[in-house]
Amino acid sequence: MKEKSEILKGFNKRCKDTLMETLEIEYVDIGDDFLTAKMPVNSRVHQPYGLLHGGATAALAESVGSAASAFFVDTKKFIVNGIELSINHVKSIREGEVTATATILHKGRTTHLWEIRVVNENNELISISKLTNIILEKN
């Protein structure tokens, strides 16, 4: 495997001018079967009650799961598209930082299934999701 820091630098570079940059998502760790990203919780990602917006959490989950699939495929030949995201929000948070770790459950030729756990700074579960990605040949 390439040097971890170089892989993460590449993931973070691709976030420029995207939703990930807007939400300040940063990829921070990678391994053989996982990818981890973090996102600050502040007014930029709040819903009107001052809590972390579920949509921002879902965007974090899908971003880390999709990037993780891209790590496993030859992106010169294939693209990764999320086709289903299921997410349960179990705890709220007003400020601080959340960390999302995508762990592979199934790595097939044409589909990948990820479990993404989103936790707060005390490692308390905020949300849990499953993401299914389809791997398509580029035309």
Catalytic residues: 62
Largest CA distance in the chain: 45
DSSP string, the chain: ---HHHHHHHHHHTTTTSHHHHTT-EEEEE-SSEEEEEEEESGGGB-TTSSB-HHHHHHHHHHHHHHHHHHHS-TTTEEEEEEEEEEEE----SSEEEEEEEEEEEE-SSEEEEEEEEE-TT--EEEEEEEEEEEEE--
Assess contact for 44 and 67: CB atoms under 8 A. Answer: no
